[in-house]
Structure 1
Amino acid sequence: MRTVLVVDDEMDIADAVKSILEDEGYRVVTCANGREALECLEEVRPDLIIIDVMMPVMNGFEALRAIRQREEFAELPVLIMSAIDPSVRPAEYDWAGFLKKPFSLSHLLEQVHKLVPVAA
């Protein structure tokens, strides 16, 4: 079963994304900020990370930088979700897709299925 790590400080969004993806056949783990996500990566080996940008403690850009510094996660697909304009993307950040908040269920599923199809 494919595993998705969802990182968002807005727990209603994280829980909604989790529910939707579980209905699609994914295993989903949620974290409330970038620091929690980095700790979670010690135990969980996700196939995809969906991460918000604007979060307390450690934002999505800081977390992404830390994730990319770990060799085992250098190629891990990351889907950014945020209300910010994706053109602010610094060159050193490498993400596989962008979900502009608010996003539709169909757009979420399209992005996730493209990056990590359910059938492994």
Structure 2
Amino acid sequence: MKTILVVDDEFDIVEAVKAILEEDGYRVHACGNGSEALRCLKEVKPDLAILDIMMPRLNGYETLKALRQQPAFAQLPVILMSAIVPEVTAGGYSWNGFLKKPFSLQSLLDQVHRLAPKAADGDGATG
């Protein structure tokens, strides 16, 4: 079963995304901010991360940068989400998808299925 890390400071969004993805057959670990997400990365070993851009403490860009600097997660697929359109690059660090809030259930699932297909079970960032 693929694991997805969902990071957003808006509890309602985290819970909605978590419910949708769990219903679709994914294991989901939710974090309320970027600092919390970085602390739990090694334990969770996600196959995909979904990061909100606008968060207190450590925003989505800063979280993405810190994630990319860790060799084990440098290639981890990342979807950014926000009500604003993201910058073209986040300090030179790339991402794999973007969800503009509010987003549809189908757009969420389309991107998740593309980046973390359920058919090929791996055990986290190691494959």
Q: Normalising TM by the smaller chain, what interval? A: over 0.9
**Mapped partners of 1:34, 1:77: distance in 2:** 16
Higher relative contact order (CA 8 A, sep 6+): 2
**Structure 1-normalised TM-score?**
0.96
What is the letter of the counterpart of residue 35 of structure 1? S
Q: Distance in 2 between matches of 1:44 and 1:66?
A: 16
Aligned to 1:15: 15
SS at 1:51's partner residue? strand
Distance of 2:87 and 2:7 partners within structure 1: 21
Structure 1: give runs of 5+ residues left out of the alignment: none
**How many percent identity over aligned positions?**
62
Whether the 8 Å CA contact 1:6–1:51 is kept in 2: the answer is yes
Counterpart residue type for residue 84 of structure 1:
I
Secondary structure at the counterpart of residue 58 of structure 2: coil
* Matching of residues 1-120 of structure 1 within 5 Å: 1-90=1-90, 92-119=92-119, 120=121
Q: 1:64-114 deviations in whole A, cap 9, x for unaligned? A: 000000001010000000111134533512100000111000000000000
Q: Which amino acid aligns with 2:67?
A: I
Mapped partners of 2:15, 2:51: distance in 1 = 13
Aligned length: 120
Whole-angstrom distance in 2 between the partners of 1:34 and 1:87: 18
CA contact (8 A) 1:83 1:102 kept: yes
TM-score normalised over the length of structure 2: 0.91
Q: Is the 8 A contact 2:65 2:91 kept in 1?
A: no
Two-structure CA RMSD over aligned residues (Å): 1.1
